[in-house]
Amino acid sequence: MKKRPTIEMVAQQAGVSRQTVSNAANAPHRLRPETLRKVLGTIDELGYRPSHAARSLRTRATQVIGCRLLPGNYGGTGGVLDRLLHALCDAAWAKGYGVLTFSAANDDEEIAVFDDLLRRNAVDGLVLTHTHHGDVRPAWLMDQSAHFVAFGRPWGVERPAHSWVDVDGSAGTAEAVRHLAELGHTRIGFLGLPEGNGVGDDRYQGWQRAVDALALPSKGLIARAEDGVMSGKALAEQLITSPAPPTALVCVIDAMAVGAVRAIEEHAMESGRDLAVIGFDDSPVASLLRPGLSSVRQPIEDVAHKLIEVLLAEIAGTQRRPSRALLAPWVVVRESSGLPRARELRRSSPHGGAADSTLPDLNRKEQGK
């Protein structure tokens, strides 16, 4: 019986690589015309049928969802997207799906990866993260009829034609303002990102609206810079040393809040006692700092479940129109915005046994473990 021609046989006879044969069938534009002609000629000659395997693959669900892995902001206090990946992985796995992660330096590279994954039928659908103004990825994906859902609103797009899930950042900063106002603060500042960043503008607007609604001042209480601990420190320093300093700061992101806390400490003050600070994202460092950093927490597990629910509906074809979901965050209150801390412990003498008797119950329990 004659052996069924394989891609290797075509490659060998045409004197090209396996990949070139594959490209001739799936991405002919990648080949030079004479190479394409030669490979197609050999394919005809041997009777190789690349389309069959490709077609059967195309109709076969991979049970895999693709998602770009963005660099962790470990120098700062990021980690929201890492938290998302864990949650996404759990939510996907509960439905029998794995999550294929990949690296890409920018949107163009990400699109090249999408192209490759879709051509290879390596994924059933995609989760887009880090949406931003002028984002070219959604249009490309829609053009390919790819199944996808975005974590993040399509900033600047009036009637987005695709599904997305996001967290209501402005609701978060507004809640932070109301929480501080309830504690008696009347001069509540905002450390933000430069204008033009979708997420940053959204969080800023929540602060502005809440401050206006409470008839509190905002003039001279806004400072903006790129994200980072050092820039947060510089901005806080700027507001602290201004003629009419704030008594509380809402920060667009935890890294800025960490910087603000450092500026406060350098003025021999303490966050929470002398100046309240609230961050955003409730990154791991927020609970580990002393005083603990209050922070707006995103419901990442709910986001992940919603992303998977919407994406699987897209894949199944039961999603008739684009789905939009805006989930509410909440303020995790710690010492930096007024939660009392056991300050008397600091006054106990070194090596003395006295500290034990003033330890809170939680600590005592842990100690007895």
- Per the CB < 8 A criterion, the answer to whether 232 and 257 are in contact is yes
The dihedral through the CA atoms of 83, 87, 93, 95 has a sign that is negative
CA distance 230 to 78: 15
Considering only 9, 64, 157, 327, the residue that binds a copy of itself (CB under 8 A) is 64
Considering only 321, 353, 357, 361, the residue that binds a copy of itself (CB under 8 A) is 353
Considering only 30, 265, 326, 328, the residue that binds a copy of itself (CB under 8 A) is 265
Site string for a copy of itself, 70-109 (x = CB under 8 A): -xx-xx-x-x--xx-xx--xx--x----xxxxxxx-----
In the complex with a copy of itself, the residue whose CB is nearer, 69 or 333, is 69
Residue 230 in contact with a copy of itself, rule: CB under 8 A: yes
**Least gap, CB of 345 to a copy of itself (angstroms):** 5
In the complex with a copy of itself, the residue whose CB is nearer, 215 or 288, is 288
Residue 62 in contact with a copy of itself, rule: CB under 8 A: yes
User: How many residues make contact with a copy of itself (CB under 8 A)?
Assistant: 74
Residue appearing with tokens 């399509």: 154
- Per the CB < 8 A criterion, the answer to whether 69 and 101 are in contact is yes
Site string for a copy of itself, 125-164 (x = CB under 8 A): ----------------------------------------
CA distance 223 to 189: 8
Considering only 53, 136, 142, 316, the residue that binds a copy of itself (CB under 8 A) is 53
Considering only 31, 229, 260, 332, the residue that binds a copy of itself (CB under 8 A) is 229
In the complex with a copy of itself, the residue whose CB is nearer, 101 or 218, is 101
Residue 346 in contact with a copy of itself, rule: CB under 8 A: yes
With contacts defined by CB under 8 A, name the span among 147-155, 164-172, 174-182, 221-229 that binds a copy of itself: 221-229
Enumerate residues 6+ apart whose C-beta is below 8 A from 125: 65, 66, 146, 147, 148, 149, 311, 312, 314, 315
List binders of a copy of itself among 267-286 (CB under 8 A): 267-269, 274, 284-285
- Per the CB < 8 A criterion, the answer to whether 121 and 131 are in contact is no
Residue 36 in contact with a copy of itself, rule: CB under 8 A: no
